[in-house]
Amino acid sequence: MSKPVRILGIETSCDETAAAVVQDGRTVLSNVVHTQIPLHKKFGGVVPELASRNHVEKIGTVVRAALDGAGMGLDDLDAIAVTNGPGLVGALLVGVSYAKALAYSKKLPLIGTHHLLGHIAANYISNFELEPPFCCLIASGGHSEIVEVKSYVDVSHIGSTRDDAAGEAFDKVARALKLPYPGGPELEKLAENGNPHAVAFRSKFNEGEGFDMSFSGIKTAVVNHLQAHPDANLADVAASFQFAVNTVLSDKAVRAATHTLALAGGVSANKNLRTMLKTKSEKKGIRFFCPDFVYCTDNAAMIASAAFYLLSAGKISDLSLNAVPYLDLC
Total residues contacting Zn ion by CB under 5 A comes to 2
Toward ligand KG4, which CB reaches closer, 79 or 179?
179
Toward Zn ion, which CB reaches closer, 188 or 298?
298
Toward ligand KG4, which CB reaches closer, 109 or 206?
206
Toward ligand KG4, which CB reaches closer, 85 or 184?
184
Q: Which does 84 bind (CB under 5 to 8 A by kind): ligand KG4, Zn ion, none?
A: none
> For the chain, how big is the Rg over CA atoms in Å?
20
- Helix then strand count (H, E) for the chain reads 10, 10
Q: Which does 267 bind (CB under 5 to 8 A by kind): ligand KG4, Zn ion, none?
A: ligand KG4
Beta strands in the chain (DSSP E): 6-11, 16-23, 27-35, 79-85, 110-114, 134-139, 144-151, 154-160, 260-264, 287-289
Is 83 near Zn ion (CB under 5 A)? no
**Length of the chain in terms of residues written:** 330
Is 140 near Zn ion (CB under 5 A)? yes
Residue 216: CB minimum distance to Zn ion, A: 20
Using the CB atoms, write b or e for 80-90: b if 16+ within 10 Å. bbbbbbbbbbb
Q: How many whole angstroms separate alpha carbon 131 and alpha carbon 99?
A: 28
Q: Which does 194 bind (CB under 5 to 8 A by kind): ligand KG4, Zn ion, none?
A: none
3-state secondary structure of 128: coil
Among 86, 179, 298, 317, contact with Zn ion (rule: CB under 5 A): 298
Q: How many whole angstroms separate alpha carbon 272 and alpha carbon 67?
A: 35
Residues that bind ligand KG4 (CB under 6 A): 14, 140-142, 167-168, 170-171, 182-185, 188, 265-267, 269-270, 297-298
Toward Zn ion, which CB reaches closer, 70 or 122?
122
Tell me which residues in 19-78 interact with Zn ion (CB under 5 A).
none
